[in-house]
Amino acid sequence: MDTSVFSKHIESADIVITDSFWKEKLELVRKEVIPYQYEALHDRIEGADKSYSVENFIKAGKIAEKIRNGEKIRVYPTDKWCYDEGNSHPDSFHGWVFQDSDVYKWLEAVGFSLINYPDKDLENKADAIIDIVCDAQLENGYLDTLFIINDRDAVFTNLKDWHELYCFGHLAEAAVAYYKATGKTKLLDTACRFADLICDTFGENKIKGYPGHEIAEMALVKLYEITNNERYLDTARFFIDERGKKPYYYDTILGKETVYDNYHYNQAHIQPKYQSEAVGHAVRGVYLYSGMADIAKYCKDDELYNACLKLCDNIINKKMYITGGIGATVDGEAFSFDYDLPNDLAYSETCASIGLIFFLRRMLEISPDAVFGDTVERALYNTVLSGMAVDGKSFFYVNPLEVLPEASRKDSRKRHIKPVRQKWFGCACCPPNLARLISSVGEYAFAENEDTVFVHQYIGSLLKTKNAEIEIVSDYLDSGEVTLKITPQKEFTLALRIPLWCKEYCFTETFEEKNGYAYFKIKQSCEIKASYSLYVRMIKCSNKVRSNLDKVAITRGPFVYCAEEVDNGKELQMLKISKMPDFDICDDILYANAFREKESKKLYGEWAESEYVPVRIKLIPYYKWANRGENEMSVYIRI
Amino acid sequence: MDTSVFSKHIESADIVITDSFWKEKLELVRKEVIPYQYEALHDRIEGADKSYSVENFIKAGKIAEKIRNGEKIRVYPTDKWCYDEGNSHPDSFHGWVFQDSDVYKWLEAVGFSLINYPDKDLENKADAIIDIVCDAQLENGYLDTLFIINDRDAVFTNLKDWHELYCFGHLAEAAVAYYKATGKTKLLDTACRFADLICDTFGENKIKGYPGHEIAEMALVKLYEITNNERYLDTARFFIDERGKKPYYYDTILGKETVYDNYHYNQAHIQPKYQSEAVGHAVRGVYLYSGMADIAKYCKDDELYNACLKLCDNIINKKMYITGGIGATVDGEAFSFDYDLPNDLAYSETCASIGLIFFLRRMLEISPDAVFGDTVERALYNTVLSGMAVDGKSFFYVNPLEVLPEASRKDSRKRHIKPVRQKWFGCACCPPNLARLISSVGEYAFAENEDTVFVHQYIGSLLKTKNAEIEIVSDYLDSGEVTLKITPQKEFTLALRIPLWCKEYCFTETFEEKNGYAYFKIKQSCEIKASYSLYVRMIKCSNKVRSNLDKVAITRGPFVYCAEEVDNGKELQMLKISKMPDFDICDDILYANAFREKESKKLYGEWAESEYVPVRIKLIPYYKWANRGENEMSVYIRI
C-alpha cells in the first residue's frame, strides 16, 4: 500500500449538491421516501406489511424501565427468524430479528438529509424517535429490542443467526450521521455505550465470536473516526481476524459441527485475509469487505488489502452484472459461481449494489483506480437507482435484467422477479438503505488527502475542501461536459476520474494520467473543462456467460439501457439490433435500427434463415424501467 | 369420433421382439434392472436409499392377521408425506406414501418380461412377493400398507395428498400384466376385491371423491377389459366426471377452502371435459389424460375426446421438449406455461414421458394420426431411454437438455439436474416405470382392429394378429429400411406410419395416405419394403422459446443428438455449428463442421465480431449421454 495516496471522502457537510439529476433524487428522498418511511415505521401505511420497528422500541423501553425497577418480566421464545402477528404474543417482539435496523437506517438518512436541507420539523421527529430508541437501552449498554423484550438471557447466544451486532452496526452508522448533522450527542452516546459493551464482551480472552451478518466492523471504524477510541478499531479488527478460524466459533457455541459449505453463506469459511472469491450472501459479503478495507487502511495491513484486491477483481470481472448488480442467485441472496449471471433469474439486490459502493469507496480511499470509480458509477446509475420508482413511492429489492411478467407469476423459480415495484416490505432493508445512500451521495463522489482532491463521480456541487473550494458544473450525463471552477487554498493536485467507457476525452489544462485518473497541478484559481465523448456503445459480454451469447447491451455514459414492452411490443426476444444501428438520442431515450424476427409458431421445424421486419427500437435507461405499468423488459438484445 | 377406425394395441403375448436395438434393452431390463430392483425392494442394495416396500407388506400382513383375530393394534400418525427411519417407530410404515407402488411396478415389469422370456426362477420370486402382497389385504378388500399399518381409521380420509387410489392403480396394472403372463389369478383377484371396495365406496350417492394422483382411472379400465365388469368402467368415468366440480371435493372433506391455483397441481381445477391446457404435475396430468382417452373411447364421449385432442395439441405444440420431455419445471414437477422450455432447468421427468406414451397410445387407438405416433417415437427414443444408463444400472429422474456440472453442484436452482445417473431413489418411481414400459414396448408399436393392422413404431418383430402374421425386419434406426413379410388370415389393410421427420420415402407397393399413415390393401402373402431417408436434420425451435434463439438441435431419424464435453471439450456454449455442416455418420455417432468461438475473458467489452476456430464436433444420441463420467452436455448448439 502506498500510504501517500490514502484519502478520505469529503463530508456531506462540505458538499452542496447542485446537480439537477441528483438534486431531484435528493428531493425525492426528502419529500417522499423519508416521510413515507416514517409512516411505515409507525405502521401507518395502509395495505403494506407492518414494520413494528417503533412499537418494538416502545415495548423495549418499558421492559428496560421494569428491569431498572427490579420487576419480574415475562420470557418469549427467541428461536424464530421472523416474529409476526400470527405466531407471537401481542406483548412480544414483532417483525424480523433485524427489525431495529430499519429505524436506524431511517435516522441515518434523516441525518444526511438534514445536512443537505435543515428541517426543524423533521429534526423534531427524529429526536422523538431517538428518545424512544435511547430509552430502550439497558444499563449495561445493550440495545436490541428483540432480546430486551423477549429474553434477556438469550443475549449474544447465537451470533450466527441473530442480528444483534448487525443492528448495533446500523445504530452506530445512524448515530455518526445524526451527530454530524446536528451536533447532538444523545444517539452517539447510546451507540458508544453499546460499542463499549461489545468491546468488553468480544476479543482475546473474552468471547471469540463475530457477527453472522457483517457491518459492525465498518461501523466500529466509523465510531473510531469520531471518537478516536482505539478499542473500537481493535474490536473491528478482532471481528475480521477471528472470522473463519478453526474450530469455527459458531460450531463451538452451538455445540454441533456445521458442514464447511454453510460458512460460505456468511463468509466465515476461511479467514478474510485468505479470501479471494466473493461467496455467500452478497450484502454480508460486501459489508465484510468494506470493514476489511477499513482495517487494511487504518492498520496498514497489506495481507488484508491484497485479499480486498482479489475480491474486487473477482466481483468486477466474474460476478457482476453490467448494471453493477451482484449476488446472482436468490438462494441465500448470494454470489453464484464465476460467470453465472442469468438475466431472468438474477437476484441482484439493491442493497448489495449499495454495499458494493461502500466497499469500493474504501478501496478508492486506499488507492485511486478508475476501475473502482467506474464500478461505483455503474452500480449507482443502474442497480441502485432502479431500486426506486421515479416517484419515490415504490421499491425493488431484486433487479433482474430480463423480465417476462407471465414467468414471474407462473414460474416459482422466478417468483422473486417482481415486474412492478412494491410499496413497502416486511423485510424493508432496501428502501431505507437507498434513502441513506442517496442522501449522502456526495460522500461517494469526492475525496481528498493533504495535497490532492479526487473527483470520482461527476456530480454538480460546491465543494469546500482543505485544499480548495471547487464548483463543479456538470452536464456529464447529457453532454459529457464538466466544468470545474477552482479556488485553491494552497497549491494542490486535482484528480479527475477518466471514465473507462470513454475513449475520446479532452481537458482544457495539461494533466498526467495514472490508473485512469487525470492529475492536474493547481497553483491558482482556474477553470478546467473536461469533455467526455458520450457515444453509444454496444457491449458484448464474455462468452463464458451462457445467457448473453450473441447478444449486446447498449450503454451511453454511465447508463445501461433496456427495452420495454410498452415501447417495443411483446416478445422482446424477437428483436435483433442491427450491427450498424444508427443511434438517435432524444433526452435520455435511445432509438436504434433493429429487426423483429417473424414469429415462428411451429415448435420444432427444419432450420432456415429467419425472416425479419425492420423496426426502430426505443431504449430507456435501465434505472427507469417499470415505471409505466407491468411489462416485459430486457437489457440484452440479440445482434 | 369415427368408431370404425378404433383399434386396440396388440398384446405382448402376440409379439416376439427380434429387433437388435430393442432386444438389447429388453435383455438389460431382464438381466439387470429387474434383478437389481428385486434386491432394492428388499433393501439389499448397499449405499442406496432403502425402499422398505416388501418390509411394509410383511408388516401389513401381520396387522391384517391381527385384525382377523380381533387383536388390538397400535396407531401411528398418518399425516406425513414421507415416513423414514429417523422419524418413525420401527413397527410403523416406512418410506413414501406411495411406496407400495414400487412393488406393483416391479411385478408388472416381471409380468411383461415373463411373456417375452419365460423364467421359472423369476416367476417363483414374483409368486412369493404376490403371496406377501395378498396376505396384507384386509377382508373388505382394502390394500394399502401405509394405512393398514399406521391407522385403519384414516383410510380414504385424504384422497388429495395420500396415494391409496394411486397404489390401487398400480396394483391393478400389475395384476393384469401378471395374469396375462402366467394365467395366475391370485393378484388379479386381490386387485378386483380392492376395485370392488372402491366401486362400493365412491360414486353418486356415495363418497364423491377422486384420486389426488391419477392412474386409477386407466387401471379400472384395464380391469374392465379383462373382467367385463362394467362397474369398473363406471367408477373410472365417475372419477373423471367428478373431478373439478364445485364445490371442490377436497375442500369439503378437508374443511377448508383452497385457492383455485392449488387444484391445477392435480388437474382438479375444472372438469376434465373442459380442460384444454396441460397444467400441474406432469405425470398426474398424462395419467389423467390416458384415463380420459380410455373413457372417451369406451363411452364414445366426444366432449372428453375433444378435450384430449386439445390437451395433445397443447402439449405437443407448446409444452414439449424436442426430446419428448414434458413438465418443464421442478416446482411441482409440473408443466410450465406455454413455450417455457429452459434447457438447463428442465425437469422433464422420465415417468412423465412414459405417461405421455400411455396417453398417445390411447389417442392412436381412437384415431391413427402420425403426429401422435411421431411423438411416441420422440419420447421413447430420447427421454425414456435416457432415463437408464447403457448398462441398466443407474437411472435419471430428470432429463435436462443442457448440463454444466458446476451449476448442478453450486446453483440450488439446478440441484435437480444430476450430471450422472443415480443408483436407486428413495422415491423410485422412474426405474420401475422404465422397466415396465420397455418390457412391453411392443404394445406401443402395434395395434389392430377388425380389418386393419397399424404399425406405429418400426420395431423388428414377429406379430401374430387376427388379420395376419407379420414379420417385421427393421433396419429403421440405421438405414431407414423396413421389410414386412405378411401372411394374411384374410384380406386386410396394413397401415404404416410415415415418420414426420422423413420427406423422402418409398414403398414397394401402392398405398393410400391418410393422416400420415400409408394404407396398403393386403390380399395375399407378400413383402412390403419401406425406405425412409435418414438424413440429418437441423431443427429450429420456435422463437417464442427464449432459450433456443439462434440455436439448432440436430436429429437423425428418431434420435435427437447432443454434444458432450468428453468429445468436444469444456464450455460447449462456445461451439457454433456451420450452416452447411457436412455431416458424417459412423455407427450412431455424428460429426459436423463447426466453429469454436475464442474465449473472451473480458466480462464486458466493446462489441466486435467474434473470432472462431474451425472444429469438427462429435455428437451422440441424446439417450446415450452421461455414460462416460460427469461432464457438460448440450442438445442445442448455436448456429
| Alpha-carbon gap: B81 to the closest alpha carbon of chain A (Å) | 21
The strand pairing partners of A219, in sequence order, are none
Sheet holding A461-464, edge to edge: A15-17, A461-464, A468-475, A481-488, A526-532, A505-507
Measure CB to CB from residue B541 to each of A406, A541, A603 and give the nearest one: A603
Rounded to whole angstroms, how far apart are CA atoms B320 and B324? 6
How many other CB atoms are there within 10 angstroms of residue A510's CB atom? 8
In contact, A16 and A461? CB cutoff 8 Å: yes
Strand A517-522 with A492-497, pairing: antiparallel
User: Minimal Cα distance from A598: which residue of B?
Assistant: B543
Rounded to whole angstroms, how far apart are CA atoms B362 and B86? 43
A603:B552 CB<8 A:
no
- Provide the pLDDT for residue A426: 61
| Alpha-carbon gap: B328 to the closest alpha carbon of chain A (Å) | 10
Rounded to a whole number, what is the distance in angstroms from the first to the last CA of chain B? 44
> With contacts defined as CB-CB under 8 Å, which chain B residues touch A602?
317, 542
In terms of Cβ atoms closer than 10 Å to its own Cβ (0-12, 13-18, 19+), residue B99 is buried
B601:A542 CB<8 A:
yes
The predicted model scores a pTM of 0.93
Model ipTM value: 0.93
Strand A452-455 with A492-497, pairing: parallel
Kindly give, in sequence order, each residue whose CB lies less than 8 Å from that of residue B499, ignoring residues fewer than 6 positions away.
B370, B374, B377, B505, B532, B557, B558
User: Minimal Cα distance from B606: which residue of A?
Assistant: A539
Which residue did the predictor score with more confidence, B377 or B159? B377
In contact, A99 and A52? CB cutoff 8 Å: yes
The amino acid occupying position A171 is L
B329:A545 CB<8 A:
no
User: Minimal Cα distance from A555: which residue of B?
Assistant: B606
- Provide the pLDDT for residue A154: 93
How far, rounded to the nearest angstrom, does the alpha carbon of residue A456 sit from its chain's CA centroid? 17
| Alpha-carbon gap: A612 to the closest alpha carbon of chain B (Å) | 12
> With contacts defined as CB-CB under 8 Å, which chain A residues touch B574?
543
Best A259, A281, A320, A410 residue to mutate vs chain B (most B CBs within 10 Å) = A410
Tell me the count of A-B CB pairs closer than 8 A: 142
- Provide the pLDDT for residue B198: 98
| Alpha-carbon gap: A409 to the closest alpha carbon of chain B (Å) | 10
User: Minimal Cα distance from B570: which residue of A?
Assistant: A544
Residue B438 φ then ψ, to 5°? -65, -40
Mean pLDDT by 10-residue block, N- to C-terminus, for chain A (639 residues)? 96 97 96 93 86 95 96 86 74 92 96 96 98 98 97 92 96 98 98 98 95 97 98 98 91 72 89 98 98 98 98 98 96 94 95 98 98 98 95 91 94 87 73 93 97 98 97 97 97 98 96 98 98 96 96 98 98 95 94 96 94 97 97 97
Model confidence at B249, in pLDDT bands (50, 70, 90)?
A: confident
Strand A559-564 with A612-621, pairing: antiparallel
Indicate left, alpha or beta for B215 from its phi (over 0: left) and psi (-120 to 50: alpha): left
> With contacts defined as CB-CB under 8 Å, which chain A residues touch B599?
542-544
Residue with cell 445524526: A178
pLDDT tens for residues B541-552?
999 999 999 999
| Alpha-carbon gap: B336 to the closest alpha carbon of chain A (Å) | 7
| Alpha-carbon gap: A320 to the closest alpha carbon of chain B (Å) | 9
How many other CB atoms are there within 10 angstroms of residue A134's CB atom? 18
In terms of Cβ atoms closer than 10 Å to its own Cβ (0-12, 13-18, 19+), residue A430 is buried
Q: Is the peptide bond before A247 cis (omega within 30 degrees of 0)?
A: yes
Rounded to whole angstroms, how far apart are CA atoms B177 and B12? 9
Rounded to whole angstroms, how far apart are CA atoms A51 and A84? 10
Q: Three-state SS string across B523-573, please? A: CCCEEEEEEECCCEEEEEECCCCHHHCCEEEEEECCEEEEEEHHHHCCCHH
Closest CA to A394 of A416, A418, A377: A418
Residue with cell 440405421: B478
User: Minimal Cα distance from A549: which residue of B?
Assistant: B573
The amino acid occupying position A590 is L
Handedness of CA B294, B296, B297, B299 (dihedral sign): positive
> With contacts defined as CB-CB under 8 Å, which chain B residues touch A337?
406-407, 410-411
User: Minimal Cα distance from B279: which residue of A?
Assistant: A410
In contact, A145 and A99? CB cutoff 8 Å: yes
- For A63, the grid coordinates are 421492559
pLDDT tens for residues B3-29?
999 999 999 999 999 999 999 999 999
Measure CB to CB from residue A543 to each of B344, B404, B573 and give the nearest one: B573
Q: What letter does residue B635 receive in the DSSP assignment? A: S
Instruction: Using the predicted structure, report yes or no on whether residue B486 has a pLDDT greater than 90.
Output: yes
Q: Can you list the alpha helix ranges (DSSP code H) found in A249-301?
A: 249-254, 262-265, 282-298
